[in-house]
Amino acid sequence: MTHILLEKKGPVAIATVNRPKALNALNSEVLTDLDALIDAIQADETIRVLILTGSGEKAFVAGADIAEMARLSKAEAEAFGKHGNDVFRRLEQLAIPVIAAVNGYALGGGCELSMACDVRICSDTAVFGQPETGLGITPGFGGTQRLARLVGAGMAKQLIFSARNIKADEALRIGLVNAVYPPEELMPAAEKLAETIAKNAPIAVRASKKAINDGLEVPMDEAIVIEENLFGGCFETYDQQEGMGAFLEKRRHEPFQNR
């Protein structure tokens, strides 16, 4: 991976988009590297949580690479959009939780990348936006769909139609991010959250993510069946036996075994 740095801290993996001279902008190479990152995470069963951030102090991901996009034909633009959407969808469907630690600009494709993660926290210097209509295009990596699901259709339309950027405090107010931290506290906070998640039963965490994601795509009557099946599946695991056994015996549970 040329533009992605990957570090492991026990069960937590930290991936950093590393193209700082271009403010970590997404071009075809970065998208391919993100695809390879997902392959690497899926191949390592010891990783329980992934943190995604950007290198440098200015940007998480400033957007898609406009220099690459400017001369695309209709067919080429559709293919570029599909490339981004395919990668972001894989990230969204990754079995383990993904935390976006947004450390600066998250515009266009960068905002869309953060929205493909499960949880977004940011520094108080972060800036979010979907500026595409000011460039004569629509969001192309899922922005019209995920933003509406996260903040509601009315707010998503306002942000996309106006191409207006918003600061961290407004992103928190509308529910786009979960928490805001001073820059020096962002990664420690992301790692603390990841470690808290990683201590819980991994099968149950993964099942909970799948239940939420899959359930949001179907009517409630179908969604609760998805939950019932995943809930029942947990009762075939060692971790459920240990967790409930420890509770009944009024003792601290042993470390969960992911089995």
Catalytic residues: 112, 132
Nearest to 156, CA basis, from 167, 142, 164, 144: 144
Helices (H), ranges, 93-142? 109-115
Q: How many other CB atoms sit within 10 Å of the CB of residue 128?
A: 26
User: What residue has token string 């509406």?
Assistant: 148
DSSP letters along 32-67, please? HHHHHHHHHHHH-TT--EEEEEESSSSEEE--B-HH
Q: Tell me how far apart the alpha carbons of residues 138 and 158 are, in angstroms, rounded to a whole number.
A: 13
Which backbone phi and psi does 59 adopt, to 5 degrees?
A: -140, 140
Query: Could you give the CA distance from residue 252 to residue 47 in angstroms, rounded to a whole number?
Result: 23
In whole angstroms, how large is the CA radius of gyration of the chain?
Answer: 19
Going through 126-252 in order, the beta strands assigned E by DSSP cover: 127-129, 166-167, 179-181
Paired tokens of 35? 């695809």
Q: Exposed, middle or buried, 161 (CB in 10 Å: 0-12/13-18/19+)?
A: exposed
Our measurement of the distance from residue 196's CA atom to the centroid of its chain's CA atoms, rounded to an integer in Å, reads: 17
